Amino acid sequence: MSGIFKTGNIFFIGENGTGKSTFLQAIARACGIHIWKDEERPRYRYNRFEDKLHLFLAIDWADNKVPGAFFASHSPILLTYPDADLYSFDRSPIRKVRYEDTGYLRVYKDFLNNRELYLGEP
């Protein structure tokens, strides 16, 4: 992944079904880490290329060390991890985004500032 991910900790963010876990699984498989079990789960659309994605990833760890970790998260708090990069899967192509520009932060702030609107409190 040399040249793409520059920091040690990467967060993949986006709505459900946008490919975060698929990409994370492909990275793991390309590294020889097989932690996912094939579970049957309903999908909106089957992607016949999903199972082969890992074959097209070239993994290259700098200095032969694993530099950090990859995460998929919806948590606005976890996304504040220091020096982490955030990649949004909400639009194509996948792009790096600032924390301040995420929908998660906007919704979280709006909830904290307008709780009664979300909870139906008078």
Looking at the domain assignment, is residue 36 inside a domain?
yes
Whole-angstrom distance, CA of residue 75 vs CA of residue 97: 15
Whole-angstrom distance, CA of residue 122 vs CA of residue 113: 14
Number of domains observed in the structure of the chain: 1
Q: What are the E-state strand segments in the chain?
A: 9-13, 69-72, 85-88, 95-97
pLDDT in tens, 4-45: 777 778 889 998 888 888 888 888 888 777 666 555 555 556
Looking at the domain assignment, is residue 77 inside a domain?
yes
Domain that holds residue 21: 9-119
Average pLDDT score over the chain: 78
Prediction pTM value: 0.69
Looking at the domain assignment, is residue 2 inside a domain?
no
Long-range contacts of 105-108 (CB under 8 A, 24+ apart): 105/76, 105/79, 107/76, 108/76
Q: What is the pLDDT of residue 47?
A: 64
